[in-house]
Structure 1
């Protein structure tokens, strides 16, 4: 279905019944990222999958404001209001994890349990954020100039996704074909306005989070393992699970383990 919020059409899919579970994909992804987990999660949950602004079948407007991470979080609140959901479990991967964390800070009473897969609270210093904004703007301009196809060729070969070279040909082709469906304007503006250089840094506020929170990383993703370790030090209530032989996208590389970990966490935290 499509839900219009502030004149922007968002693609949303809902499955099953029970306690809501909102799933937020990563940069260049869409709601189909979670398709294989429907049979697992819908046993106990009403699954809500959406295409984040600038991705998939959701609109890619020219204005900058709707892509800002706080605005995107407020749009999710309005989507949930439309679906008559007053609180939800929330799972976000990478960019979706940063958006999920932002939502949890703005609407703490709406988040029952939080799962952050390979996510960060942002960059700690203004200097780091400034440098990242420059890099993201350059990459955004590259997408607009060269097109999605050339960008995807570049993106799927960055070190962060090196462990995905081990995936089967079918899985790799499926991921690639989904990425190619994205709108260049949507990707460019998402980078510029929702990237770690533009979003607020939540590091100093991590201790405020009261909802049960699971940090999920792959042991082969050294950068995000380090980030998760630092996050856990900021809030003793954070649980951290580090998955063997997995990189950044645990849900892609180890889907069965991922589904089991998330289901058990949500079940134990209910």
Structure 2
């Protein structure tokens, strides 16, 4: 009997070790060896003395309804995590455009770049123009929500509708969090590994809960940490953290002209720099139940969907509860 238990224990341990090893395979700087759910296309950009590539997926429905949706990814993600959303929207006739911003996913990782949300919005508009799309619904999650806001403000004539899904930037962290230099962000990024990335996502995105399916969104970040060029990836990550921290959009929501929908998971507590403040101050940050209501009041012609017991990624954690109100809003 003891031998049987020992065999089972060794078997489980071996499978666990192999699974862990699989999660930690080095990935190319532009995720060359990481498969996306749809064909990836590129546009060429000349920016700040560099030739860059910006990747995107263009998901075309079998029966088009003549409308398009732009899905903008968050800080710690790439366009691939929109797969289920894109499938559902395409089934309803929507054309779905999913870019990887410069510095993320399969797009270029510049050796130097002054990142601004205006620059990322301009690049995103270049993708839309390449596809000859005149009007589009702009949907942003997490950091993508800040970018979606900037896009809608810069290009109101192209923004048919506006959707925020647990966006960051609903508050101005500069008012509470000590400033971190790019070098400080960079040092922190250099220390990342699979375990730290998973722990961060589990605690901040899923309220301490975890399912094996969530591992899929740890793998790209963890694989990068094993790449010999990881310092360049970490540097771009540090630059985009500085962009997020120093370029708030919270003061401009009243200028949004398009009909708007906010989908807010109520368990979310995400806020930049929470680890740099006292426990007392930390309790005042990332209060999404209140931030969602405040933001909906600021945006004219907006509606708010509150998802109880859902965290930072509604489209991953509670897809059915996320997609239903989204499609209802798009179909209006």
Same fold (TM over 0.5): yes
Relative contact order: is structure 1 or structure 2 higher (C-alpha 8 Å, sep ≥ 6)? 1
Matched position secondary structure for 1:90: strand
Quote the residue 2:166 is aligned against: 118
Question: Hey, what does 1:58 align to over in structure 2?
Answer: 107
Mark the runs of 5 or more structure 2 residues left unpaired by the alignment: 1-40, 225-229, 270-286
- Please list every run of 5 or more consecutive structure 1 residues that lacks an aligned counterpart in the other structure: none
Matched, 1:4 2:44: yes
Q: What SS does structure 2 have at the residue aligned with 1:263?
A: helix
Alignment partner of 2:180: what SS? Answer: helix
Q: Are 2:312 and 1:242 equivalent residues in the alignment?
A: no
Q: Secondary structure of the residue that 1:108 maps to in structure 2?
A: coil
* Deviation for aligned residue 1:204: 3.1
Higher helix share: 1
**Mapped partners of 1:234, 1:25: distance in 2:** 23
Report the equivalent of 1:134: 180
Deviation, structure 1 residue 252: 0.8
- Taking structure 1 as the reference length, the TM-score comes to 0.86
Seen in structure 2, the aligned counterparts of structure 1 residues 38 and 234 have a Cα distance that, compared at 3 Å, is closer
Q: Decide whether aligned partners of structure 1 residues 229 and 164 sit closer, same or farther in structure 2, where only a CA change above 3 A counts.
A: same
TM-score normalised by L of structure 2: 0.71
Q: 1:100 aligns with which of 138, 148, 152?
A: 148
CA contact (8 A) 1:120 1:228 kept: no
Q: Distance in 2 between matches of 1:86 and 1:189?
A: 31
Pairing 1:227–2:272 present: no
Q: Which protein has the larger Cα radius of gyration, Structure 1 or Structure 2?
A: 2
Whether the aligned pair in 1 keeps the contact of 2:138 and 2:159 (CA below 8 Å) is yes
Distance 1:13 1:162, change over 3 A: closer
Q: SS of the residue aligned with 1:98?
A: helix
Distance in 1 separating the partners of 2:94 and 2:72: 15
User: After superposition, where does 1:72-91 map in structure 2 within 5 Å?
Assistant: 72-91=120-139
Distance, in Å, in 1 between the alignment partners of 2:268 and 2:201 is 15
Considering only aligned residues, what root-mean-square deviation do their CA atoms show, in Å? 2.4
- The residue aligned with 1:217 is 264
